[in-house]
Amino acid sequence: MDVVNQLQRQFIDYSASLHREGFLDDQFTQLQKLQDDNSPDFVVEVASLFFEDCEKLINNMARALEQQQGVDFKQVDASVHQLKGSSSSIGAMRVKDVCIAFRSFCEAQNREGCLRCLQQVTHEYSLLKNKLQTLFRLQQQILAAGGSIPVVE
Amino acid sequence: MDSCNCIEPQWPPDDLLMKYQYISDFFIALAYFSIPLELIYFVKKSAVFPYRWVLVQFGAFIVLCGATHLINLWTFTMHTRTVAMVMTTAKVFTAVVSCATALMLVHIIPDLLSVKTRELFLKNKAAELDREMGLIRTQEETGRHVRMLTHEIRSTLDRHTILKTTLVELGRTLALEECALWMPTRTGLELQLSYTLRQQNPVGYTVPIHLPVINQVFSSSHAVKISPNCPVARIRPAGKYMPGEVVAVRVPLLHLSNFQINDWPELSTKRYALMVLMLPSDSARQWHVHELELVEVVADQVAVALSHAAILEESMRARDLLMEQNVALDLARREAETAIRARNDFLAVMNHEMRTPMHAIIALSSLLQETELTPEQRLMVETILKSSNLLSTLINDVLDLSRLEDGSLQLDLGTFNLFAVFREVLNLIKPIASVKKLHVSLNLAPDLPEYAIGDEKHLMQTILNVVGNAVKFSKEGSISITAIVAKSELLRDSRTPEFFPVPSDNHFYLRVQVKESGVGISPQDIPKLFTKFAQTQSMATRNSGGSGLGLAICKRFVNLMEGHIWIESDGLGKGCTAIFMVKLGIPERLNEPKLPLMPKVPTNHGPTAFPGLKVLVMDENGVSRMVTKGLLVHLGCDVTMVSSSEECLHVVSHEHKVVFMDVCVPGMDGYEVAIRINEKFTKRHERPIIVALTGNTDKVTKENCMRVGMDGVILKPVSLDKMRSVLTDLLEHRVLFEAI
């Protein structure tokens, strides 16, 4: 029991810190609410899908921006839009904010700015991925120890 | 004889006679020889002489005669035989030729004579032609004058100019001494001298119109010669000279009304003016035919020109009148508008200004009622409250009525629960009725629809007013309220023959009857009930306290709802019945009966709020697709997911009740999909509700969604509660255009 409590407390703290630092926002909480007995791994599934999507999009954007002769800003913009949509669906606030800035650089057709944003996005994304993986591991541990995931409001 | 100077004395100059013969012969011969010479000379000179042969013959004859006479000269003396021979030959030839010539002349002389007659004939002809030429020239000149005159006359549309020009030109063309125009006076009994050529200001000469000479002129369409002594011709001061000939012609004055399409105007109804023309005196000139013709033509032209001028004057006058009227109308309209605006402003101000103090009074009086009061004080406060309530009602009524009259009041249509309206009226009226110990009963017909489309507030106001009146005016007994759907037989009420309601598929007529067994109304008072501010004697004695506006307002509302209201009474003391019919709409049959009536706040928070609701989600973004699905699955829906518009169109069917589609992804046209879905499902109740999910909150997106026929727009990301309430709203109302 103690272990469970401890783990749960750890989980709550970690969740709170993620929210506080702006990695996640309210949307993520909503997603957690959707998890129930019918779909117990809902959040994990969504997160995995998000990671796959992100990597694909980032690769696309990198390739597009590497073109020496004439960058296709429209394509980049499309990818950024997708990324923005995905990140806001999952509640990845920081990623979403970078995407917003990214979009304005795309509209201005500023290659330097875009490259900078791409770096930022990649950075944020990897950060988030790590954090979420930690969170999920904690969850697994709690479940393995026989406890239940506490609901963080 | 040696003394004579004649030819050589070969001859014997014995006899004097012989001498003279000798000389004559000589001269004859000479003449005879010179004649042909002359002939030849002149003939050669003239180019044309048809009788050359005759000339030759004649010449030969003459020559031979001359030769004979010449030879004769030698025969006076002794001559040889040769001379005799020559002489004889000559004589023979001469005889032959002269006989031939004589014969020839018989033929020729008649010809020559006839030439002479022809010449005479031609001369006559030439003289005749000359005369005719003269005539034609005069006619042509006359024609030219006419044309010129006509041109002058018709070149202006001013009456005076026309007439003046006519006289001047006529005077000039015909070299007249005086030319005058007599116009009929207004009375038509006299002719007044209106225009003259020479005199500057013809003053007031009048002649009666029925003089024989004037009648004579008027009855003929030609110019008529009249005596210079008749009154119309005696314009100039009389002088010692012989006045010239005078001609008068009628000038028809045409009026618009004279022209009918089928028959030309009768002569007797025409008015004429008289034109008098005088040739110069002492000139011995006569009126020629062509001059008379000229005058007639001119008179006709003048008539036409005058009628044109008259028509123009008329139309100008009419136009001026119209313009004046227009200006006046415009002014009146602007004044009316100003008045209306002033009235509206006044009403608006009064509305606010009157109500504010009223509210204060009513509110404070009610508050005062709650406090501790002595009985007298309580009575006073109650009176204050009652009076101020009445006043407030009066103010509301007046303002309402004036708005109704303005036409600016419109019905506030909406779907509402009919039964609830009646129940509420009952609830409101029960306390008062029970105080008066009146029994109120409500009967609703079984086929009366529960829901209707109409103006709920005003319908309740009307029912309340009618029922309230019934309660007010009954001292005892019972009041029964009946509401039924009016059927066609009942629709044609004999008392209201002008009211022909026509029920249709989406409308029905509600007939409400309120019967009270009270004092009743006498039949002559019934019409006054619906007029404003009119109170009948019997009503006034009943301490009603009403302003008399209530029923008038009800009538206005009922009329707005395309209905009719009337009161029947069997007389004083026998109670009365108020009946009204209004047109209400029938709401559409939707899935509403299946769903419970959702109150504004959703009370179910359970996970399965929408069991088995088939929903289609279209989103290109995998993550948000999954999230949306998760939301909906959590709410119990049966979710189908598609990731492209083609798939969406392929999969969508009438089983899906709602379609959520993402429209903010560039490149994929969610709007297009919406349009296609609209096309695919033609019946409205088969079509799924289409909702757009978007990250854009701007107006353009919303407008675009509305334009393509979507039923709602939701801003991503969607929370669980939001999704729940959205679905609730959508299924209840089928439309949702906020949830941003």
Band (B532; pLDDT cuts 50, 70, 90) = low
Model confidence at B209: pLDDT above 70: yes
Model confidence at B122: pLDDT above 90: yes
Q: What dotted CATH number matches B614-738?
A: 3.40.50.2300
Q: So what's the ipTM on this one?
A: 0.79
DSSP B437: T
| Euclidean distance between CA atoms B560 and B403, whole angstroms | 13
User: Tens digits of per-residue pLDDT, A7-27?
Assistant: 888 888 888 888 888 888 888
Return the top range by mean pLDDT from A136-145, B9-18, B504-513, B650-659.
A136-145
Q: What is the pTM of this model?
A: 0.35
In chain B, the residue whose alpha carbon lies closest to the alpha carbon of A29 is: B719
Decide: B308 and B157 in contact? Cβ < 8 Å: yes
Does CATH place domain B410-487+504-534+546-585 in 3.30.565.10? yes
Please answer yes or no on whether B627 and A81 come within 8 Å at the CB atom: no
Please answer yes or no on whether A91 and B717 come within 8 Å at the CB atom: yes
Least confident of B210-214, B365-369, B666-670: B666-670
For chain A, give every domain's residue range.
Answer: 1-145
In chain A, the residue whose alpha carbon lies closest to the alpha carbon of B716 is: A89
Please answer yes or no on whether A84 and B607 come within 8 Å at the CB atom: no
The larger pLDDT score, comparing residue A1 to residue B326, is at B326
Does CATH place domain B157-258+267-318 in 3.40.1280.10? no
Domain with CATH 3.30.450.40 in chain B: 157-258+267-318
H/E stretch holding B584 reads strand B576-585
Model confidence at B330: pLDDT above 90: yes
How far does Cα B25 stand from its chain's mean position? 113
DSSP B235: T
Q: Identify residue B567 by its one-letter amino acid code.
A: I
Q: Identify residue B14 by its one-letter amino acid code.
A: D
Q: Identify residue B604 by its one-letter amino acid code.
A: N
Mean pLDDT of all residues in B220-226: 86
Question: B96: which 2 tokens?
Answer: 């032959």
| Euclidean distance between CA atoms B718 and B721, whole angstroms | 8
H/E stretch holding B628 reads helix B622-634
pLDDT at site B439? 86
Distance from CA of B635 to the nearest CA of A (A): 9
Domain with CATH 3.40.50.2300 in chain B: 614-738
Q: Identify residue B265 by its one-letter amino acid code.
A: P
Buried b (16+ CB within 10 A) or exposed e, B621-642: bbbbbbbbbbbbbbbbbbbbbb
Look-up of token digits 């006619």 = B139
All residues at 6 or more sequence positions from B571 whose CB lies less than 8 Å from its CB, including other chains:
B520, B522, B523
pLDDT at site B270? 67
Question: A38: which 2 tokens?
Answer: 């019918």
| Euclidean distance between CA atoms B35 and B496, whole angstroms | 137
Band (B326; pLDDT cuts 50, 70, 90) = very high
Superfamily of domain A1-145: HPT domain (1.20.120.160)
| Euclidean distance between CA atoms B175 and B163, whole angstroms | 17
Question: In 10 A of CB B703, how many CB atoms?
Answer: 11
The larger pLDDT score, comparing residue B530 to residue B339, is at B339
User: Tens digits of per-residue pLDDT, B622-658?
Assistant: 778 888 888 888 888 888 888 887 888 888 877 788 8
Q: Name the strands in the sheet holding B224-226, side by side, starting at the edge strand that comes first in the sequence.
A: B206-208, B190-196, B178-184, B271-278, B246-253, B224-226
Question: In 10 A of CB B26, how many CB atoms?
Answer: 16
DSSP B269: G
Least confident of A95-104, B131-140, B284-293, B314-323: B284-293
Distance from CA of B720 to the nearest CA of A (A): 7
Question: B426: which 2 tokens?
Answer: 């009952």
Mean pLDDT of all residues in B243-270: 65
pLDDT at site B11? 52
pLDDT at site B324? 96
Give B640's strand partners.
Answer: B616
Residues in chain B with CB shorter than 8 Å from the CB of A27 are 717, 719
Model confidence at B264: pLDDT above 80: no
Model confidence at B543: pLDDT above 80: no
Give B306's strand partners.
Answer: none
Give the DSSP letter string of B8-26. Answer: -TTS----HHHHHHHHHHH
Decide: B378 and B411 in contact? Cβ < 8 Å: no
| Euclidean distance between CA atoms B250 and B244, whole angstroms | 20
Look-up of token digits 């309209």 = B333
User: Tens digits of per-residue pLDDT, B2-42?
Assistant: 555 555 555 555 788 888 888 888 898 888 888 888 877 87
Decide: B244 and B272 in contact? Cβ < 8 Å: no
Annotated binding-site ranges of B for Cu cation: 65, 69
pLDDT at site B595? 37
Please answer yes or no on whether B633 and A38 come within 8 Å at the CB atom: yes
Decide: B245 and B285 in contact? Cβ < 8 Å: yes
Whether omega before B717 lies within 30 degrees of 0, making that bond cis, reads yes
